[in-house]
Amino acid sequence: MESIISWRPPLVLRDDFIVATNEDWTREWQLQTENEAPILIEAGWKFFMQLQKQSSGDLVMTNSNDNQRLMVLDHEAGKYGLRVRQADAAQIPAGQYDYDIVLVAGDGIYRLVKGSIQVDQGITNVPGQEKWSHFPLILRP
């Protein structure tokens, strides 16, 4: 008699990247099976992400479907992405940050992505951008 694994949580993807305070932050990921087939993102699933300063552990930003900084881009293809507007990015001090993304699907919580984000101080500013609106950076679910 043999036991086999019939289901397991998703593998946690490691994704490190660099952004700047004077730009929109965009990043996209895709949910896939082990055979690289897309996983349908069902209605009601929620994505959450928090950004934490490496040197202090301070929470500096929360992102989710609710504040529209984590978005489902294509339900059928399992694509979701980070969308932080420059007005929000400008409030994050330059430095090194850790993050992870979790999915709440039904009654389960699954960690999907982890990594670090290097935030560089942007130099060039677009005239009028200081008037752009932004979401509060930290929202508790």
Task: Give the CATH fold of the 24-122 domain.
Answer: Immunoglobulin-like (2.60.40)
The token pair at 53 is: 């300063």
Cα-Cα-Cα-Cα dihedral sign, residues 11, 65, 82, 72: positive
**pLDDT value at residue 128:** 73
Tens of pLDDT along the chain (141 residues) come to: 676 655 677 789 999 999 999 999 999 999 998 888 999 999 999 999 999 999 999 999 999 999 999 999 999 999 999 999 998 999 999 999 999 999 999 889 999 999 999 999 999 887 776 666 666 777 654
**Ranges of each domain in the chain:** 24-122
Indicate whether this model's pTM tops 0.75. Answer: yes
Using CA atoms, how far residue 4 sits from 10, 50, 89, 105, 109, in Å, is: 17, 35, 46, 24, 23
**pLDDT value at residue 35:** 86
